[in-house]
Structure 1
Amino acid sequence: MTSILVALLCLTSSTWAFVVKYQPEAVHLSFGDQIQDIVVTWSTKDDTKESLVEYGIGAFQFTAKGNSSLFVDEGKQKHHQYIHRVDLKNLIPGEKYMYHCGSNFGWSNIFYMTTPPASKTWTPQIVIFGDMGNENAQSLSRLQEETQRGLYDAAIHVGDFAYDMDSDEARVGDQFMKQIEGIAAYLPYMTVPGNHEEKYNFSNYRARFSMPGNSEGLWYSFNVGPVHFIAIDTEVYYFMNYGIKQLVKQFEWLDEDLRRANEPATRTERPWIVTFGHRPMYCSNANSDDCTNHESLVRVGLPFLNWFGLENLLYKHRVDLQLWAHEHSYERLFPMYNFKVMNGSYDKPYTNYKAPVHIVTGSAGCKEGREKFTPKRPHWSAYRSADYGYTRMKVFNKTHLYLEQVSDDKAGAVLDEVWLIKDTPVPQYPPN
Structure 2
Amino acid sequence: MRAQNMASATTAAEVQAFAVFFLLRVGGGSNEGCSESADAYARAQQNVMLTATNTVALQDQAQINHVYGDDDYGYLEGVKKDHIKWPSHPTFEKEGTHGYDSYGECGVPSATRFHMPDNGNGVYWYSFDTGLAHHAVVSSEHEFARGSPLYNWLVNDLKSVDRSKTPWVFLYIHRPLYCSVAYSGDYYRSLLFRDELEQELADYHVDIVFAGHYHSYERTCPVFGDRCIESPSGKAMAPVHLMVGSGGYQVDDAGFYRSRWREQGFLEHGYGRVHIYNSTHLHFEFVSNAERRVKDEAWIVSTHDWPSKRERYPPGYFPPQEIAGFGAAVMLASLATYAVLVPAIRRARNTKYTPVQPIQFSK
User: With structure 1 as the length reference, what TM-score do the two structures score?
Assistant: 0.59
User: Which residue identity does 2:117 align to in structure 1?
Assistant: P
What residue in structure 2 maps to residue 195 of structure 1? 97
How far apart are 1:237 and its partner, in Å? 4.0
Compared CA separation, residues 358 and 155, structure 1 to 2 (3 A): same
How far apart are 1:295 and its partner, in Å? 5.6
Q: 1-side partners of 2:306 and 2:231: how far apart?
A: 14
Compared CA separation, residues 401 and 295, structure 1 to 2 (3 A): closer
Q: 2-side partners of 1:177 and 1:299: how far apart?
A: 37
Compared CA separation, residues 344 and 187, structure 1 to 2 (3 A): same
Q: 2-side partners of 1:217 and 1:415: how far apart?
A: 32
What residue in structure 2 maps to residue 270 of structure 1? 166
Compared CA separation, residues 295 and 362, structure 1 to 2 (3 A): closer
Are the aligned partners of 2:238 and 2:306 in contact in 1 as well (CA < 8 Å)? no
The one-character-per-residue Cα deviations of 1:295-336 (angstroms, maximum 9, x if unpaired) are: 633222xxxxxxxx1111111111111100001000000111
What residue in structure 2 maps to residue 127 of structure 1? 21
Are the aligned partners of 1:280 and 1:290 in contact in 2 as well (CA < 8 Å)? no
Are the aligned partners of 1:157 and 1:189 in contact in 2 as well (CA < 8 Å)? yes
User: Which residue identity does 2:87 align to in structure 1?
Assistant: A
Residue in structure 2 matching 1:430, options 301, 304, 308: 308
User: Which residue identity does 1:144 align to in structure 2?
Assistant: Q
User: Which residue identity does 2:237 align to in structure 1?
Assistant: K
Are the aligned partners of 2:28 and 2:248 in contact in 1 as well (CA < 8 Å)? yes
Q: Which moved more, 1:318-327 or 1:195-204?
A: 195-204
Are the aligned partners of 1:394 and 1:402 in contact in 2 as well (CA < 8 Å)? yes
How far apart are 1:132 and its partner, in Å? 4.0
How far apart are 1:141 and its partner, in Å? 1.2
The one-character-per-residue Cα deviations of 1:121-153 (angstroms, maximum 9, x if unpaired) are: 222211113214234132321322431451552
- Tell whether 2:277 aligns with 1:383: no
Gaps of 5+ in 1: 1-117, 239-243, 301-308
SS of residue paired to 1:254: helix
User: Which residue identity does 1:185 align to in structure 2?
Assistant: P
What residue in structure 2 maps to residue 51 of structure 1? none
User: Which residue identity does 2:43 align to in structure 1?
Assistant: S
- Tell whether 2:195 aligns with 1:296: no
Are the aligned partners of 2:17 and 2:275 in contact in 1 as well (CA < 8 Å)? yes
Are the aligned partners of 2:221 and 2:263 in contact in 1 as well (CA < 8 Å)? yes
**Structure 2 counterparts to residues 85-100 of structure 1, below 5 A:** none
How far apart are 1:179 and its partner, in Å? 2.8
Which structure exhibits the higher relative contact order, with contacts defined as CA atoms closer than 8 Å and separated by 6 or more residues? 2
Q: 2-side partners of 1:210 and 1:134: how far apart?
A: 25
Residue in structure 2 matching 1:219, options 115, 120, 125: 125
Q: 1-side partners of 2:90 and 2:277: how far apart?
A: 20
SS of residue paired to 2:213: coil
Q: 2-side partners of 1:354 and 1:120: how far apart?
A: 21
**Structure 2 counterparts to residues 65-76 of structure 1, below 5 A:** none
Q: 2-side partners of 1:289 and 1:203: how far apart?
A: 27
Are the aligned partners of 2:72 and 2:109 in contact in 1 as well (CA < 8 Å)? no
Percent of aligned positions with the same letter in both sequences?
A: 28
Gaps of 5+ in 2: 1-11, 31-36, 57-61, 311-363
- Tell whether 2:227 aligns with 1:340: yes
- Tell whether 2:299 aligns with 1:419: yes
- Tell whether 2:114 aligns with 1:209: yes
The one-character-per-residue Cα deviations of 1:238-275 (angstroms, maximum 9, x if unpaired) are: 9xxxxx89x811111111111111xxxx2122110011
Larger Rg: 2
The one-character-per-residue Cα deviations of 1:27-72 (angstroms, maximum 9, x if unpaired) are: xxxxxxxxxxxxxxxxxxxxxxxxxxxxxxxxxxxxxxxxxxxxxx
Q: 2-side partners of 1:342 and 1:371: how far apart?
A: 31
Compared CA separation, residues 183 and 229, structure 1 to 2 (3 A): farther
Pairwise CA RMSD: 2.7
Q: 1-side partners of 2:235 and 2:138: how far apart?
A: 25
**Structure 2 counterparts to residues 53-92 of structure 1, below 5 A:** none
SS of residue paired to 2:164: helix
Compared CA separation, residues 132 and 343, structure 1 to 2 (3 A): same
What residue in structure 1 maps to residue 243 of structure 2? 360
SS of residue paired to 2:169: strand
Compared CA separation, residues 294 and 119, structure 1 to 2 (3 A): closer
How far apart are 1:191 and its partner, in Å? 1.6
Q: 2-side partners of 1:271 and 1:388: how far apart?
A: 31
Q: 2-side partners of 1:382 and 1:123: how far apart?
A: 26
Q: 2-side partners of 1:274 and 1:267: how far apart?
A: 12
What residue in structure 1 maps to residue 342 of structure 2? none
What residue in structure 2 maps to residue 395 of structure 1? 276
Q: 2-side partners of 1:119 and 1:379: how far apart?
A: 36
The one-character-per-residue Cα deviations of 1:390-425 (angstroms, maximum 9, x if unpaired) are: 101111111111100011132x12110001113x4x
SS of residue paired to 1:296: helix
What residue in structure 2 maps to residue 257 of structure 1? 157
SS of residue paired to 1:253: helix
User: Which residue identity does 1:418 align to in structure 2?
Assistant: A
Are the aligned partners of 1:159 and 1:326 in contact in 2 as well (CA < 8 Å)? no
Q: 2-side partners of 1:233 and 1:400: how far apart?
A: 28
Q: 2-side partners of 1:211 and 1:371: how far apart?
A: 35
User: Which residue identity does 2:247 align to in structure 1?
Assistant: A
Compared CA separation, residues 194 and 341, structure 1 to 2 (3 A): same
